[in-house]
Amino acid sequence: MKTSNRNELTESQAKVLKTINDFITENGYSPTAKEIAEILHITQTSVFEQLERLEKKRYITRQKGAARTIGILNTVVDEKPVKSESVKLVKVPVIGTIAAGAPIFADENMEGEILVDESNIGKGRFFALRVRGDSMINAGINNGDLVIIKRQPLAENGDIIAALIDNEATLKRLSLTNDEVFLLPENEKYSPINVTCREDFKILGKMVTTVTVL
């Protein structure tokens, strides 16, 4: 396997990558997000975020929707700290309960603001939604978490999106198949929502990351 320049990784990403590599070496198969979280004493949400970034940087591969499918593409050679990265914080408004008939971005729907590292979300217009319920737990999104949404009217198949249905904001995975549009939960207790012909369905944006509220 090829060794890449560690300057491409943050210290947290390097720790997660080493944990995966050590686990595979010892056990012969890859760890779950829960096992990584327990080893490093961090939240599963943080693990999912780091895995997403490691995959984008081509250090690992994953099979969506399946456990123990992490593959190592590149490894690190030591545990020397990565140089600190300059952090630029941006303000993201937090959307609260949506009032029937009122625009989602109306002032009365704003709970406040949070500061988010711009390197974690990129450029664009963003808002945060507070998660209610457990319909997305298999994607590492738990009750009480804040999800950061990039405002955009369109999304691709498989994206986790914030959508508006009957003036109610919901977070689900978008499924586009056979000319039908479904919103899929990440919890087997809940059923998919068919929004193909619903006039009250609107995409608010795509989820880019989560913030765990301790």
Residues 7-17: tens digit of each pLDDT: 477 888 888 88
Considering the entire predicted model, what is its pTM?
0.59
**Are the C-beta atoms of residues 163 and 183 closer than 8 Å to each other?**
yes
Q: Give the CATH number of the domain where residue 63 resides.
A: 1.10.10.10
Q: Report whether pLDDT(205) > 90.
A: yes
14 with 97, same domain? no
Instruction: Give me the pLDDT at residue 195, please.
Output: 94
Please give the tally of structural domains in the chain.
2
Q: Give percent of the chain above pLDDT 90.
A: 24
Mean pLDDT for the stretch of residues 127-147: 86
For 147-169, what is each residue's pLDDT tens digit? 889 999 999 999 999 998 887 88
Q: Report whether pLDDT(137) > 70.
A: yes
Judge whether 46 counts as a catalytic residue. no
193 with 97, same domain? yes
97 with 151, same domain? yes
123 with 69, same domain? no
Residue by residue, what is the 3-state secondary structure of the chain? CEECCHHHCCHHHHHHHHHHHHHHHHHCCCCCHHHHHHHHCCCHHHHHHHHHHHHHCCCEECCCCCCCCCEECEECCCCCCCCCCCCCEEEEEEECCCCCCCCCCCHHHEEEEEEEEHHHHCCCCEEEEECCCCCCHHHCCCCCCEEEEEECCCCCCCCEEEEEECCEEEEEEEEEECCEEEEECCCCCCCCEECCCCCCEEEEEEEEEEECCC
103 with 194, same domain? yes
Q: Which of 15, 150, 172, 206 is catalytic?
A: 172
Judge whether 15 counts as a catalytic residue. no
Instruction: Give me the pLDDT at residue 126, please.
Output: 93
Q: Which of 15, 135, 150, 206 is catalytic?
A: 135
The parent domain of residue 166 ranges over 89-211
172 with 195, same domain? yes
Q: Does residue 82 belong to any structural domain of this protein?
A: no
The domain boundary residue, chosen from 26, 50, 75? 75
Please, which pLDDT band fits residue 34 given cuts at 50, 70 and 90? confident
